[in-house]
Each structure stands twice: as structure tokens, then as C-alpha cells.
Chain A
Amino acid sequence: MNVKKMIASIALAAGTSVISSVVLAAETIKVGVLHSLSGTMAISETTLKDTVLMMVDEQNRKGGLLGKKLEAVVVDPASDWPLFAEKARELLTKEEVDVIFGCWTSVSRKSVLPVVEELNGLMFYPVQYEGEESSKNVFYTGASPNQQAIPAVDYLMSDLEVERWVLAGTDYVYPRTTNKILEAYLKAAGVAEEDIMISYTPFGHSDWQGIVSDIKKFGGAGKKTAVVSTINGDANVPFYKELGNQGVSSEDIPVVAFSVGEEELSGIDTGPLVGHLAAWNYFQGIDSEANEYFVEQWKAFIGDEKRVTNDPMEATYIGFNMWAKAVEKAGTTEVDAVEQAMIGIEFPNLTGGIAKMNKNHHLSKPVFIGEIQDDGQFEVVWETDGVVAGDAWSDFLPGSKDLIADWTAPIKCGNYNTKSKACSGQVQ
């Protein structure tokens, strides 16, 4: 099976290696786009490629940057993690791009990381992830666990008075780390060991009967129970279906998901999902002028009235605009200068309020909890007061409690130990 996938992706990659852009001005600023256009992740990542292209278009219409036109260079890493590293190298050495927007899964980011650090590139990563990382060469515009998972649990605990917890996830690094953080957080909040149930399933799992039945039994003990789901991708559909079939309603046992957004809901039967929750920093349904404009612009750009927007798109939007602002501020696209200019840059969120880039290369953003509606959109039922600063290193894990990331002088370190006052990783 794996061999099969690999052969398929290599074949595809060879076919579509470089789709370079059309207009080549005398001198342009090159924007690399490193998102999978084929393979399993293509469903999610193609959207982000289009978002970057739309942003580039828009910037060019405004007159480009520093008097130069922007030029997008699109490559296809084909959902193949090692290929991400190769393509990143190609972008930085052969195409000599000034910035990269890319990656979705954590494993692809980890694959690219050594390359951008070695070649001193600049990358924007737009997806929620498990944290425990901060690189000088990467800006993380998606949510870290304290901007998504922790507020969601807070909401369940305070508003829905949940006392028993099921942490269900797909078996890979993001759910495992997030659940480790959540488990520590819940225990610190006084939840007993026997009130936490943890369950992992393989990618693309479709037979949920046993697990849903276990959840039902676990939830039947007289205490309010909720499921915190880090189940990834299309495994969610049979999961929610099974919940519906076994009669578990969102009022009895609500499921709050971190990987289910508008894009994932489009094109599936949302009937069984209505009332379940998702935590994000952005929902398409949030009323604001900027958001309305963005949604319209997106539909027009893609030429499809039914297309939806989602959280990683907003993260891409903020990341791109911040980069543009930082380039103007620095007066150059040179990585070290832009990197320093980025810190402290502010840009309005699509949902209102101002996002700010912090010293640890993570954003301050608001957090929303939405209830799934039958039209595949979300109804916001709760939001944080103001913005939450993204935490690179979790405060709830023993190994990373004392670590911070600070890329300003004098620390300039991605994993600085506040106790021993030492930096134990990449130094500038």
C-alpha cells in the first residue's frame, strides 16, 4: 500500500514538478508556494495554494512591493514528506525565492525545517499544530495548543460543566502531543485519572462501532461527558455518523474537534454533525466587513459560489499581509532584516481585532468555539475576551515548562531555558 502510494506520488511529482508563473518582470520578488497539489493532502492544501496566489494577485494590483512585482513560484511536494525538503531546497537554491508559504502536516514542516534553517530561508506555516517548536526561519500563523485546545477545554469545563473527558485522536504526532498537553492540563484542574479516556485510531479509520460504544458507556456514568477530538481528515465522517446512529446526540455528549472546519464539512452530509463543536481562530460565518470582502474575493477568484473559507486560509492571509508589511518596513526582502521587522507587526484579523506577531514567532489571535449548523457553517457560541498569545512551548508539559522562545536581542533563541538561562538549540 505504502509502496503503491509512493510510486503514485513520485510519478505525479515528476509530471508536475514546477508550474512556474506567467509574467516575468525584469526584477521580481519571488514568493514560493510549497503545498501539495496531489496525493492525500491535496484536498486541504490546494486551497492554500490558491489563497497565496490570490494574495499575490491582490498585492500586484496594489502596485507590488518596494516597486517590484511579486511572482509566485508553485511547486508540488505531492503529500510526500521527504519531497517537501527537496522542493524547499529547490525553491531556495534554484528559484531563489524570498519567502515560502507552505506545509500542512507537522511531519512535512519537520521535514522542511532543517532545509530552511541551513539555507536561511523564510517560511510561513499556516496550520494549527502541536507547538513545542520555534525556529528563527519559520513564522507560525496557525494556532498553537493554547490558542485552540486549551480554550476549548476551558469552555467545556466552565460553560457546559463537563466532568468526564474522552480524548480521541488519530495516531500521529499532533494528536499525541496535544492530548499529552490536555491530559496534564485536565489533571492540574483536578480531573481524576478514571475520568479521562484516551483512544487512538489509524488514519482513515472507518469502523467506529466499538469506540463509539465505549464512549457511550463512559458517558453513561452520570457525569457530563465531552469528547475532545483530534481525529484527522475524512475519518471524521464515519465517526460522526456512528455517533448519530448509536443515538449519541450533541446535547448528551458534545464533540469538540480541532481538525473539522468549513472545508472539511463542505460536500458531506452534515445532518449527524449538527450541534457538535469546533474550536478555531476564524469562522467563515463571523460577521465583519473584512471577512465579507475576503469571502467575496475568494469566491470570485476561484469562480465558484459554493467554495468556503476556513481557518488556515485566514492564517495564510494574515501571514502574507504581515510579511508584506515587514518587507516595506525593512525596505528589503533580505531574510534577517525581514525576520526582525516581522516581530511586533500588527494586522487586522478577518474576524475583528488585531493579530500581532510575537517574539516567539507565534501570533496573538482570538479563539472561537462554533457549533456546526446543517448548512456546513458554524454558529459562534463562545469566544475569548480579546486575543490569546500563541505559546511555542507548552506550560503543561514537564519538558517544556521552563522553555520560552524569544527571537529578539539579547536572547535570540527558540528554546531558551528560563531556569538555567541557557539556549539549547538553534542560535543565530
Chain B
Amino acid sequence: MNALLHKLWSVAIVLLLLPTGSPLAQSEPAGISADSVLQQLPGASLKKTGELIGQLEQAGGAEMRPLFEVMLAGELYFVKESKQIIAITKTERRTYIGRDVFGKAALGEFTSREIKKIRVNNRLRSQLRETLARIDLLHGSKLAQKQAVLAMLDDLNDKNMRLLTTAQQSGVDGEVARLIDLAAAMVQLRDSRVSEERLEAIGVMSGQLEPAVRNQLQRLVNDAQEQDLAVRAAAQKALDKISERIEFFGQLEQLFFGLSLGSVLLLAAIGLAITFGVMGVINMAHGEMIMLGAYTTYVIQQLFPGAIAYSLLIAVPAAFLVSGSVGVLIERGVIRHLQGRPLETILATFGISLILQQAVRSIFSPLNMQVVTPSWMSGSLVINPVFSVTYNRLYILLFALAIFAALVVVLKKSSLGLNVRAVSQNRDMAKAMGVRTEMVDAMTFGLGSGIAGVAGVALSQLTNVGPNLGQSYIIDSFMVVVFGGVGNLLGTLVGGFSLGVANKFLEPSMGAVLANIIVLVGLILFIQKRPKGLFPQRGRAAE
């Protein structure tokens, strides 16, 4: 049916092209020129497009690479009137900038009515990826070559093997060479009937973490037809070795997940560790300070649409100022009038949190806002096929630690820090010594709120930026601070990380819902036993 349709298509095109005397149409599939295939692309069905890609690869080879790449990115369009194929870049203002697919020549602006997209779906995308892999294997960069071989491991047919051999002969080294050897070993194990050769192949495959290797060995072990017991035993041994390594890296991954969750908890809680821990103010609007920080990131990105890559760097000080000044306002306007009355403070700050949420709803809309992730925070650092670390989590982990360190330095080394500690230990005495306690209170609260705002910048990369953002972190924040020990920054650090790690190690066996519950129950029991948390304050400061 397909073949028939295909023929009809070719005939139709020949007929269309004949009157103009075009030399493009040829009946031999092997001799099809890339141009004639390209002309069929506009308006082709998805199935037809797939066939055309195959023909293009045959006819054009590596020259077609830019086209495939543009197509994979979903940027391939055609001009409705002239049927010319062009690449389109969409701008922020929803205009369409055209450029030549093969050269870089700019073709000017188009409106959405003038052009139509050449559709791709998942099937075509994976076909394009495979095609690109074949081209890259011989012509691409080292990274592209590596990915090309990895993609071929899953499908080691003769055609791919020939390509791999050609690549090897043309000279590759390091990781790519290792992978090609691995592919050769896999084929040897699969096709050879000689015991020694197969055992040798298993020797190469043993301990390799690529999923294709594991799957092949697993199939071999499970295969009831396999008569060669020595091979089977060797395969089992190789498999065990692989499992052992996977197990090890699995634990490592789990630990990283835990630390990452811990860093989020730490970020959320660290501002609270100051306002609640040091000043003793139960600030129910703490979550909203985080939210304000996240919205600041959004606003910064709206203000500088051209500088997404730097937006987070600008947002960090901006969020600190925004949340910090709101914090100072709250302290000056409300909290200082309620000193020593914790119940009223809770109610008042709770009211403030509602006001802030509603304000954000009125100003920005109740919908979540779109905060773009800069490209340097997307993707992951691949350490090996079973262990990789996502960049956003990694940076946030480092960021949390940096903030923590900075805060410790401020509290221990600066004069503000000295005053803060003095006021929190003995307000009256500090006052008698000439410390302007009012000023210190405002600054401390501003500092705590500002840090919460900075946390919001980081969280905007992980979760939705909406009016409810703060609510989802307020409970966690209090949990961490209470667990770590009120008034102790180090406690907050250890508390955050241990809750994160505990949660992530429970999650695989318990499920996300139950893991949360168990951690919470564990925490309640712990607080029963040690009401002052992990690192209780000692001495006179405790009173």
C-alpha cells in the first residue's frame, strides 16, 4: 500500500514537473536528487515525511545535516505561496524570523499566516535522531560521535555495524573507541558460536554500565535455548558485577537526591532560622517572603528578556532587597508593637501572609507565572550511564551552602552580627551598653526576610511560581528549624540535610506520600524526646 502510494506520488510529481521541463524528476530511487525530495516536503503527511527523510539521507548525506537538525528542533517551515522551505526562529514578540536552511542567509520577517510548519511527531523525531547519529558518527564532534554510538548500541544491525567499523578505521580514540569495541563485543557474543570468542566478548562487556549491555546479558541468562553453560555462567557473573556497580551508584544517586531536597529545605528554613531562631518571632508570613523573591525573579526576566542567562544573578540581590525591605516594613509596622506577645504575632503575621498572597493575585493574576530556566541550569552532568546529576539541583545545592556560609560569616564577623547576638542573648543589657536594639531588630528581620527572598530565586527554578508558593514551604521551614534546634544555624543545616536524606531513602520503598508521613511522625517522636532539637542552646542564652 505504501509502496503503491509512493509510486503514485512520484508519478504525480513527474507529471507536475514535466511541463516546466524540469530535469529533477528521475525514476531511479537511488538517483533521486535531494532537491526533488525537498520539494515534496511541504504539506506531506507524517508518514510520507518519514519516507522523504530516508530519501534525503540517501541523496544528500552529511549535506542534509542542517535540515535534519532544524527539523528536529521543530523550526522547519515552508512559505505557503512559493513552497520554499525555510528555517524559522520565533521571537519573544511572536514574530517569525526566516533564514535559509543550509546557508545562514536571513530571509526577513514572516507572519504566521504566510508560513506553515512542517510537522514532526515522536516517530519522526526518533528517526531524525537516528539519521543524525549516522551522519555524526563519521563527521561529528567527539561528543556527537559518542552519542551516535550509544544510540546504535540498542540496534546493532549490519548496517550500523558497517558504519561503526568504518568509523573505527577512520580513526577514533578514547571513549568512542571503547564504545565501538563494546559494540563489536556485543555482536560477537550474539553471532558467534565459538565458546572462547563469546567468553572473550563477555569479558569486554563485564562491568560496563550501558543499559544495552545489561539487557543483552540478561536475555542470554534467561534464554532457555542457550546450551553453552560456560557462557551462561560467565554472563551471570558479568551481570552480577554490573548489578553491584549499579547498586553502588544507585545509593550514591539516592544520597544526592537527599542532599538536594535537604538544600531546598535549608534554603527555605535559613531565613526563618534568623527571624524565629534568633529573634524568637514566629513569622507566618515567612513563606510569602520566599514567594516575593520568586516573583522578583519573574519581574527581572520580564524586564530583561534578552538576558535570561544572567537573570538569576541579577535576581539574587534584587530579591534580597525586595523581600528584605518588605521584612523591615513588617517589623517596623507590626511586629515591634507586639513584642513578647507570641500569639498576637502569629495572628498578625498570618494576616500579613494572606494580604501578601492576595496582593500578588491582584497584581499578577492567580495563575502561575512562567519563570524561564537559563540554559546553563538545564540538563545534567552525566558521570556514567547510570549516574548523572542534574545541573539545577547541583547549583542549588552549592548555592544553599554558599548562602549558609555567608550568613555564618555575617553573624560571627560583622558588627551587625555582634549586635544581633547581643540583643538575642540579653536585650536589656545590650540596650544598656548602647546598642540600638530597635534598629538591630529591624535589620535582623530584614536580613532573615531577605535571605528568604534569595531562597525564592532558587525555588523559582524548581517549582511553580504562584501565589501559593510560600504556603507549601512554611511548614517545612518550621519543621527544619525546630528539628535542628531553635537559635542554632548549624542545627538548621544538619536538620535540613538529614530530613532531606531520610525522606529520599524512604521514598523508593514507601512511595512519596508515605515517606512524607513517616518523616513527620519520626520528627514528632524526636521532638517529644528532645524538645529543644538536635543542637539545643546551652547556658544563659537558652533562657
| Chain A interface residues toward B at CB < 8 A | 1, 4-5, 8, 40, 42-43, 160, 171, 199-202, 204-207, 209-211, 213-214, 217, 220-222, 234, 237-238, 241-242, 244-247, 249-251, 254, 267-269, 274-275, 371, 373-374, 379, 381
Contacts of A234 in B (CB 8 A): 368, 464, 466
Query: In the complex, what's the smallest C-beta–C-beta distance from A345 to chain B, in angstroms?
Result: 35
Chain B contacts with A in 363-411, Cβ cutoff 8 A:
366-373, 378-380, 382, 386, 388, 390-393
Contact (Cβ within 8 A) B512 A205: yes
Contact (Cβ within 8 A) A251 B125: yes
Which of B24-32, B183-191, B468-476 forms contacts with chain A?
A: B468-476
Contacts of A374 in B (CB 8 A): 74, 90
Contact (Cβ within 8 A) A245 B390: yes
Closest to A268 in B: B370
Query: In the complex, what's the smallest C-beta–C-beta distance from B219 to chain A, in angstroms?
Result: 8
Contact (Cβ within 8 A) B379 A247: yes
Contact (Cβ within 8 A) A202 B513: yes
Tell me, in angstroms, the Cα distance from A213 to B251 when the chains sit together: 12
Contact (Cβ within 8 A) B390 A242: yes
Contact (Cβ within 8 A) A200 B379: no
| Chain B interface residues toward A at CB < 8 A | 46, 74, 90, 119, 121-123, 125-126, 129, 154, 211-212, 214-215, 218-219, 253-254, 257, 260-261, 264, 350, 354, 366-373, 378-380, 382, 386, 388, 390-393, 462-464, 466, 468, 471-472, 474-475, 504, 507-508, 511-513, 516
29 A-B residue pairings within 8 Å (CB atoms): A1-B474, A1-B475, A4-B350, A4-B471, A43-B368, A199-B511, A200-B513, A201-B513, A202-B516, A204-B468, A206-B462, A206-B463, A207-B264, A209-B260, A210-B504, A210-B507, A210-B512, A220-B215, A221-B211, A221-B215, A222-B218, A238-B462, A249-B125, A251-B122, A254-B122, A267-B368, A268-B368, A275-B121, A381-B46
Contact partner, A160, options B122, B154, B218, B508, Cβ 8 Å: B122
Closest to B368 in A: A234
Tell me, in angstroms, the Cα distance from A268 to B369 when the chains sit together: 7
Tell me, in angstroms, the Cα distance from A324 to B2 when the chains sit together: 47
Q: Majority SS of interface residues in chain B?
A: helix
CB contact under 8 A between A206 and B464, given known A4-B471, A160-B122, A245-B391: yes
CB contact under 8 A between A1 and B122, given known A171-B513, A210-B507, A245-B379: no
Contact (Cβ within 8 A) B257 A269: no
Tell me, in angstroms, the Cα distance from A31 to B516 when the chains sit together: 44
Query: In the complex, what's the smallest C-beta–C-beta distance from A332 to chain B, in angstroms?
Result: 39
Closest to B503 in A: A207
Query: In the complex, what's the smallest C-beta–C-beta distance from A272 to chain B, in angstroms?
Result: 8
CB contact under 8 A between A371 and B122, given known A221-B211, A268-B368: yes
Contact (Cβ within 8 A) A246 B388: yes
Contacts of B507 in A (CB 8 A): 210-211
Contact (Cβ within 8 A) B511 A200: yes
Tell me, in angstroms, the Cα distance from A40 to B366 when the chains sit together: 9
Please give 4 more A-B residue pairs, beta carbons under 8 A apart, in addition to A201-B512, A202-B512, A268-B370.
Answer: A43-B366, A200-B511, A234-B368, A234-B466
Tell me, in angstroms, the Cα distance from A241 to B260 when the chains sit together: 16
Contact (Cβ within 8 A) B369 A238: no
Query: In the complex, what's the smallest C-beta–C-beta distance from A149 to chain B, in angstroms?
Result: 19
Tell me, in angstroms, the Cα distance from A115 to B154 when the chains sit together: 58
Query: In the complex, what's the smallest C-beta–C-beta distance from A77 to chain B, in angstroms?
Result: 16
Closest to A12 in B: B358
Closest to B256 in A: A209
Contact (Cβ within 8 A) B390 A209: yes
Query: In the complex, what's the smallest C-beta–C-beta distance from A315 to chain B, in angstroms?
Result: 21
Contact partner, B119, options A220, A238, A379, Cβ 8 Å: A379
Contacts of A171 in B (CB 8 A): 513
Contact (Cβ within 8 A) A40 B122: no
Query: In the complex, what's the smallest C-beta–C-beta distance from B280 to chain A, in angstroms?
Result: 22
Tell me, in angstroms, the Cα distance from A267 to B466 when the chains sit together: 11
Contacts of B382 in A (CB 8 A): 247
Most buried by A among B122, B154, B212, B372: B122
Contact (Cβ within 8 A) A251 B513: no
Q: Which 9 A-B pairs have the closest CB atoms?
A: A222-B215, A206-B463, A251-B126, A220-B211, A245-B390, A234-B464, A201-B512, A209-B257, A210-B507
Contact (Cβ within 8 A) B354 A8: yes
Contact partner, B471, options A1, A214, A274, Cβ 8 Å: A1
Most buried by B among A209, A217, A241: A209
Contacts of A201 in B (CB 8 A): 512-513
Tell me, in angstroms, the Cα distance from A250 to B154 when the chains sit together: 17
Contacts of A160 in B (CB 8 A): 122-123
Tell me, in angstroms, the Cα distance from A338 to B508 when the chains sit together: 52
Contact (Cβ within 8 A) B257 A245: no
Query: In the complex, what's the smallest C-beta–C-beta distance from B435 to chain A, in angstroms?
Result: 36
CB contact under 8 A between A237 and B511, given known A210-B254, A244-B378, A275-B125: no
Closest to A1 in B: B475
Closest to A199 in B: B511
Query: In the complex, what's the smallest C-beta–C-beta distance from B353 to chain A, in angstroms?
Result: 8
Contact (Cβ within 8 A) B212 A247: no
